[in-house]
Chain A
Amino acid sequence: MCALFRKVETPEAEHLWEETTWLQRHRGILWRTAALALWGGTLVWFYHADRLILYTRPVYHPLAAGSGVVLLVLALTELVSLVLRHRAADCCQEHGGEAHGHAHSRLAAMALILPLIINALVPSTGLTSYAVGKRATQIDYSALASQLSADWEAQMARAKELSEEYPELTIAQLLGFASQYPEQAEGKKVSCIGFVYREKGAPTDRFLLTRFRMWCCAADAQPFYLVVTWPEAASLPADQWVRVRGVMRLVEGEGGRQPELQADRVELVKPPHNQYM
């Protein structure tokens, strides 16, 4: 069994003990406490400021907030145990090898803090066209239609009640509905929000109205896009969020009839608080 253990050289441990101060002796615990406290604080703050919406689905937010609280409690426990151990009469004998033994703990805590530093340095506003280019794949809208059509019907009913000329729907709802009920979709007036995405070499009178759909976290977000035809499409900058009001059309293309939105009006809007569908 002793072959499996890490051997600590006794003379070195004694030397370390003589040379170290309180701070150095307890470096490991302090770094660990810092990592726990920083993450706990970040989670709680993000939840409070509703910034979690950028990263994960709302259903996971209370869990993240709860974890933040638990992490803060753990950090507090570490601090308390540190203070108690320091006060104890025989603390110094016990901690003879601590400066050596906690090197790994320190590195681990630093690694844990690293993403927080990265996040503080890089302002993240949302997934952009760059991400669309990397993630776009063929999407089976009919597969999603069964999930989305219930939303569609409720939405249309509510819009009728409010007598909205252009009922607002998400891109996913529109695409799902258009693939399941193409005849009903043709000629419908709708309003839709998304950001502008333009493929290289695309005609100047159209753009792709895009929005990401997230199932769990941003890592699995898939872009959904709807072709929008508008004469002044070229003037819209990429990644600009817009609200498009127009008429749904189904146009013959490769792979059958594709939905298209003939825009009557396009207005620039601020990015919605929840960027995902």
Chain B
Amino acid sequence: MARMSVGQRLAFTVSILAPTVAIVGYFAWVFSAPIRERSESQVFVIVLFSILLEAIPFVLIGALAASVIEVLVTPEQVERLVPRNRLLAVTMGAFLGVLFPVCECGVIPVVRRLIAKGVPVPVAVSYLLAAPIVNPVVIASTIIAFRGGSDRFVVPILRVTLGVSIAIVVGLFLSRGGAASLGFLAPVPCPGEPSRLPARVGLAGTRNGPDGFAVLRRLGQASPQGKRAHPEDPPGEAAWTDGEALAGPGATWGDKVAAILAHASSEFVDIGSFLVLGSLIAACTQTFVPKQTLLALGGNLPASILVMMGLAFVLSLCSEADAFVARSFIQFTTAAKLGFLVLGPMLDIKLLFMYLSTFRRRFILTVVLSVVLLNFVAALVVGLVLHAVGAR
């Protein structure tokens, strides 16, 4: 087909391709009717679409916010704002979600851009993990969901506390000893370039330093100076072109708005595709796996915590509503519910796929393992303390 002219291709399409597709399509429609009308298919489609319809507006908001960051924020501004002290920087990252509230779906494009603009990876990850929990809407919905119960104070307070603590600890872990010691950073100097290991490796590194670029997937068309690193690299990959180059100091507001919209499109399609993949799997799980099977596994305290964490992962609910669902699991202890409520906004099938769109696999593995481990341990401690105090 590559060698045909447009006219020839049109003729081919109209006379042969289109009728073939129509006939095959018709028979496929007729023969697939039994499958399409099955209850499983119906439930699957409703669940799939509901997850997507819920998440897409927030991913879009996140993509727009990320584009604004890409075009309007400079690395110099970032460098001025980030504290030098590790603990302070990571704590600031965790509480940034109060000032810039985002849903768990919308935070990923924003974090991608923040890292590209030089926000240290540990701070960005801390924001990523804590933002969906310290989001005022989420806190409010948690309070409302647990209204009138014996744990109506414990759950909201502990949810926020545990969420922020885990985010800070993961951030500190990522920044201790320099990121190079964790193995996922291996900046390879170009031949002729001196090797880069700046004094503050592991936290800020250099501006747009190796830390950020090493953990992000596919990032690389823009060098810190905003020029394309290799002339052959296509400029069309708008997601990775430095926005300042497109809308630099001389650009008008019209140019900036155009750049923001262009970035937002690519960002949305890029991350949205992973959202779709994750939602397909989450919908499958919800449609075909009965809840009772999962719940029956939760006998003792550790098992019940693991079961609830597993359920949070599998259900892929929004952080605005998962408190109500957690409340409904009356046969589980407060600690298990906390495991559900703290892990859900940080990690689930849908989020995992969106992480895959943005970060490298090894980095994701590190973060995921730390989050799961910390979550489990924290919930276990809470459970033991509550048990000792005599509460459930």
Contact = CB atoms under 8 A, between A and B. Distances in A.
Contact of B324 (A67, A95, A215): A215
B56 A39 contact: yes
B251 interface: no
Q: Which of A55, A60, A71 has the most CB of B within 10 A?
A: A55
Interface stretch (A105-113, A196-204, A229-237): A105-113
Interface in A138-173: 138-140, 143-144, 146-147
Contacts of B54: 55-56, 60, 216-217, 219
Nearest to B330: A140
Q: Which of A43, A101, A118, A122 has the most CB of B within 10 A?
A: A122
Contacts of A274: none
Contact of B291 (A19, A101, A125, A135): A135
A115 B49 contact: yes
A101 B236 contact: yes
B112 interface: no
Contact of A220 (B2, B45, B324): B324
Contacts of A10: 232
A266 interface: no
Contacts of A4: 187-188, 213-214, 219-220
A127 B50 CA distance: 12
Given A32-B269, A60-B54, A112-B273, A118 B48 contact: yes
B325 A215 contact: yes
Interface residues of A, number: 89
B230 interface: yes
Given A77-B261, A131-B43, A219-B316, A36 B269 contact: yes
A264 to B, nearest CB: 31
Q: Which of B3, B45, B223 has the most CB of A within 10 A?
A: B45
Contacts, number: 252
A142 to B, nearest CB: 9
B167 to A, nearest CB: 23
A196 to B, nearest CB: 14
B212 to A, nearest CB: 11
Interface in A1-49: 1-8, 10, 13, 19-21, 23-24, 28-29, 32, 35-36, 39, 43, 46
A132 B321 CA distance: 20
A114 interface: yes
B50 A32 contact: no
B268 A134 contact: no
A187 interface: no
Interface in B5-56: 6, 29, 32, 36-37, 39-54, 56
B365 interface: no
B291 A122 contact: no
B237 interface: yes
A100 interface: yes
B173 to A, nearest CB: 23
B53 A6 contact: no
Interface of A: 1-8, 10, 13, 19-21, 23-24, 28-29, 32, 35-36, 39, 43, 46, 52, 54-56, 60, 63-64, 66-67, 70-71, 73-75, 77-78, 81, 94-98, 100-102, 104-105, 107-109, 111-112, 114-115, 118-119, 121-131, 133-140, 143-144, 146-147, 215-220, 222
Given A29-B236, A39-B56, A143-B327, 11 more contacts: A1-B193, A6-B218, A19-B2, A21-B6, A24-B2, A55-B54, A60-B54, A119-B48, A122-B41, A215-B324, A220-B322
